[in-house]
Chain A
Amino acid sequence: MKKKNRVAAATNWPLTILLILGCITVIFPLYMAIVIAFKKPSEMTNDISGALGLPKSWSLENFAEAMRVTDFWHSLGYSLLITVVTVVLAILIHSLAGYAIGRSKTGSKFYNFSYLYIVSGMFVPFAILMMPLVKQTAQLHIDNWVGVILCYLVFYMPMNIMLYTGYLKNIPIALEEAATVDGATTWTTYWKVIFPIMKPMHATVAVLTALGTWNDVMTPLVIMSGTGANTLPLAQLTFQTQFGTNYNLAFASYLLALIPILIFYLVCQKQVINGVVNGAVK
Chain B
Amino acid sequence: MKSLNKNQTFMLITIPILALFFCFNTLPLIKGLIYSFTNFRGFGNYEWVGLRNYADLFTDSRVGKSYLFTFKFAILATIVTNVISLLLALGLNARIRAKSALRGIYFVPRILGGLVVGYIFGYFFTYILPALGQAIGSESLGSSMLSNTKTAWIAIVIVAAWQSIAQTTLIYISGLQTVPEDVYEAGAIDGATGWKRFKELTFPMIIPFFSINMVLSTKDFLMVFDQIMALTKGGPAQSTESISYLIYNNGMGGGQFGFQSANAVLFFIVIVAISVFQLNFTGKKEEQL
Binding site for B on A (CB under 8 A): 3-4, 9-13, 15-16, 18-20, 22-23, 25-27, 29-30, 32-33, 36, 46-48, 51-52, 93, 96-97, 99-101, 103-104, 111, 114, 117-118, 121, 123-136, 150-151, 153-155, 157, 180, 185-187, 211, 214-215, 217-218, 222, 232-233, 236-237, 240, 247, 250-251, 254, 257-258, 261-262, 264-265, 269, 272-273, 276-277, 280-281
A261 lies within 8 A of B98 (CB): no
B98 lies within 8 A of A16 (CB): yes
Other A-B pairs, 20, CB within 8 Å; known A132-B32, A132-B35: A4-B181, A16-B97, A19-B91, A25-B162, A123-B272, A124-B29, A131-B261, A134-B252, A154-B20, A154-B21, A185-B4, A186-B4, A233-B116, A237-B230, A272-B111, A273-B103, A277-B170, A277-B171, A280-B171, A281-B209
By secondary structure, the B interface counts as helix
From residue 101 to 128 of chain B, which have CB atoms closer than 8 A to chain A?
102-117, 119-121, 123-124, 127-128
- B115 cross-chain contacts in A, Cβ below 8 A: 215, 217, 233, 236-237
Question: Can you list 19 A-B contacts with CB-CB less than 8 angstroms, sorted by A residue number?
Answer: A16-B97, A20-B98, A32-B128, A33-B120, A36-B123, A121-B25, A129-B32, A153-B20, A157-B25, A185-B4, A186-B10, A211-B111, A222-B248, A222-B252, A233-B115, A250-B119, A273-B103, A273-B107, A276-B167
A100 lies within 8 A of B13 (CB): yes
- B114 cross-chain contacts in A, Cβ below 8 A: 215, 217
- B10 cross-chain contacts in A, Cβ below 8 A: 100-101, 103-104, 111, 186
Instruction: With a 10 A CB-CB cut-off, give which of B4, B127, B209 has the most chain A CB atoms.
Output: B127
- A32 cross-chain contacts in B, Cβ below 8 A: 120, 123-124, 128
A48 lies within 8 A of B128 (CB): yes
B25 lies within 8 A of A131 (CB): no
Partner of B112, one of A16, A128, A261: A261
- A126 cross-chain contacts in B, Cβ below 8 A: 223, 244
B111 lies within 8 A of A186 (CB): no
Q: Name the distance in Å between A261's Cβ and chain B's nearest Cβ.
A: 5
Partner of A125, one of B18, B182, B212, B268: B268
- A23 cross-chain contacts in B, Cβ below 8 A: 102, 105-106
- A52 cross-chain contacts in B, Cβ below 8 A: 128
Partner of B9, one of A27, A134, A185: A185
B102 lies within 8 A of A157 (CB): no
B24 lies within 8 A of A133 (CB): yes
B29 lies within 8 A of A129 (CB): yes
